[in-house]
Structure 1
Amino acid sequence: MAPGAFDSSLAEGRDILALMDHSRDKVLARTKSGTLRLSSDNRGLKFEIDVPDTSAGRDVLALAARGDLGGMSFGFTAEQDDWQGERRTLRKVTLHEVSVVSAWPAYEGTTVSARARQQRSAAQRRIALLELEAH
C-alpha cells in the first residue's frame, strides 16, 4: 500500500465496516454509526473500534488482551496500482471493510491491541479500542 492509498475512501464518507475474519455475520463496528473511526498517515491505516457487547466483540477483546490475534486484513477494490516485476504497489483503493483476523492475516505487518478508555462511566469502561497500523 502506498501512503495515501486509503485517503479518497476516507474522504468520501463511505460506510466502511469492521468485521471479524471478514465475516458479514460478525460486524464489530461501522463508520456510519460512528463506532468505527479510520485515519491514514504515512505508516498506514489506523482504526479505532468501540467494541460491542456481543459474543464476537467479547471474543475479540479477550483475544486482543491475551495477544492471540493474528493481525488485520482489508476488503478493498484496487483503483490504481503499479507493478515492478513481482511487486505490486496499490496507489488508490476503495476500502469496503477492515477485519480483525484470528489466525493468518493477509498483511503480516499489522497489529491489534486492546486498551480501555479513561474518561468513561463504569458501564462504558467495558468498551475497548482496537488499533491497527499497517506497515
Structure 2
Amino acid sequence: MLGRSQSGTLTLQEDEHGLAFEVALPETTTAQDLAVSMNRGDINQCSFGFCPTIDEWDYSDPDMPVRTIKEVKLYEISIVPLPAYGDTEANLVRSGVISEDMVKNIQLRKEIMKEIERGLTL
C-alpha cells in the first residue's frame, strides 16, 4: 500500500486522457525500492482494479464485439512494469511539477510502445 484517498495520501482526478493520480510515497523500503525502479525506467506504467458500472457493447462485427466502458467503481491502482493497458504511464515527480522534458519523454515512450504493439500484430 503506497497511498489511500481516505487518508489524503492519494488524489484522483479525471482529465481528458482518463484517470490521473498523485500519491505521496511513504518513507518505507517498498516505496524507496519503487522510486529507484521508476528512476531507472524499469517501472513506468499502471494497472487498475475496477468493476464496470456502465458499459456498452457493439456487436456490429459478430466476430469482434467491442465493449466501451463508460463508468467504473475503482478499487485500486498499481504501478507496474507490464500493464493490462499499454497507454498508461507513471512518473516519479519529486517537486510536484512536471517538466517539459518529462512531457516529451512520456510522448516518446508512448510512440515507442505503439510501434512495438504494431510490430507484434503484424
Q: TM-score, normalised by structure 2?
A: 0.69
The percent identity for this pair of structures is 38
- Provide the residue aligned with 2:113 in structure 1: none
After TM superposition, where is structure 1 displaced by more than 4 Å over at least 4 residues in a row? none
Deviations 1:86-125 (A, max 9, x none): 3211111011111111x3101100111111127xxxxxxx
Q: How many residues align?
A: 92
* Aligned position for 1:115: 93
Q: Where do 5+ consecutive residues of structure 2 fail to align?
A: 60-64, 97-109, 111-122
Q: Where does the alignment leave 5 or more consecutive residues of structure 1 unmatched?
A: 1-26, 119-134
Checking the alignment, whether the CA contact within 8 Å between 2:44 and 2:91 is kept in structure 1 is no
Instruction: Report the CA distance between 1:70 and its aligned residue.
Output: 4.8
Q: Is the 8 A contact 1:67 1:113 kept in 2?
A: no
**Cα separation, 1, equivalents of 2:30 and 2:14:** 26
8 Å CA contact 2:13–2:20 kept in 1: the answer is yes
Of structures 1 and 2, the one with the larger relative CO (CA 8 A, separation 6+) is: 1
Contact 1:70 1:105 in 2 (8 A): no
1:75 corresponding residue in structure 2: 49
Q: Counterparts in 2 of 1:77-92, with a 5 A limit?
A: 77-85=51-59, 86-92=65-71
- Looking at secondary structure, tell me which structure has more helix per residue: 2
State the TM-score, normalizing by the size of structure 1: 0.63
Give secondary structure in 1 for the equivalent of 2:25: coil
Take 1:90 and 1:98, find their aligned partners in 2: how far apart are those partners? Answer: 17
Question: 1:106: which partner in 2?
Answer: 84
Q: Which structure has the highest strand share of the two? A: 1
Query: Which residue is equivalent to 1:29?
Result: 3
Give the whole-Å Cα distance in 1 for the aligned partners of 2:39 and 2:66: 34
